[in-house]
Structure 1
Amino acid sequence: MRSVGTQWEQAAQAELERAGLRLIARNWHCHYGELDLVMREGDVLVFVEVRYRDAAASADGTDSISPAKQRKLIRTADMFLAAHPDFANHTCRFDSIAYSGCIEKPQCRWERAAFDAF
């Protein structure tokens, strides 16, 4: 379902760029996992997890980011910072952006600081 994920990542990127964030990387991979979007808001580096759930889902996408998934994202972000030392001294934040409902008219929920790295 890569194409569906790509569609929502593009929508999230556009939404965040309208809010003033700037794209640093998209679909960044390492052996721990993948970062959907890495954005910058001023001096803050923002790691964004993008989720979509259709109208039949019982929870929205943000609620589906389990503690195990959070740990995986944190490890992946650590690897990103190690691979990109220019960002090592930036404040970091983990956001989620979730789309839910019908594809034709989805609802968007952007949660800044959705979880902490500590």
Structure 2
Amino acid sequence: MKSLGDNYEEQAACWLQRQGLTIIERNFRCRVGELDIIGQQGQYLVFIEVRARSNSRFASAAASVDLRKRRRLVRAAQWFLQRHRKYAHLPCRFDVVAFQPPQSATEQTPLWIRGAFTE
């Protein structure tokens, strides 16, 4: 059975492809962490963290990617690049795709934050 997080990742992947991102890998796991989506957009290799919030009383989905999480994502990206050298020449970018609680019954459109952070 798929978790709620898996459903958001699936929605994000489909939406990103419609926006022109080529998905290279999903749910890349290594000993230092996990990368939800790895894709290529133009010249950039893009590492994407998918976040969702069901309650607006807490920090936004994008704000939930704190310093500790960003460092783990960077280490996982370095691990990926060591294992997949054919992408090592590309400039890298870290993005966040955030799903916020819907304000109405309409379909939820994710917020794509390009270049969300740098380490």
TM-score by length of 2: 0.91
What displacement does 1:66 show?
A: 0.5
CA distance, structure 2, for counterparts of residue 25 and residue 81 of structure 1: 12
Matches within 5 A, 1:1-118: 3-102=3-102, 105-117=107-119
Give the letter for the 1:110 counterpart.
Answer: W
SS at match of 1:113: coil
2:56–2:100 CA contact under 8 A, matched in 1: no
User: What runs of 5+ residues in structure 2 fail to find an aligned partner?
Assistant: none
SS at match of 2:52: strand
User: What runs of 5+ residues in structure 1 fail to find an aligned partner?
Assistant: none
What displacement does 1:93 show?
A: 0.1
What displacement does 1:104 show?
A: 6.7
1:98–1:108 CA contact under 8 A, matched in 2: yes
SS at match of 1:115: coil
TM-score by length of 1: 0.91
Cα distance change of structure 1 residues 106 and 57 upon mapping to structure 2, 3 Å threshold: farther
Question: What's the C-alpha RMSD, in Å, of the aligned pairs?
Answer: 1.8
- Structure with the higher strand share, 1 or 2: 1
Cα deviations across residues 38-97 of structure 1 (Å, max 9, x unaligned)?
A: 010012100000001013442211100011110000000000000000001100000000
Aligned length: 117
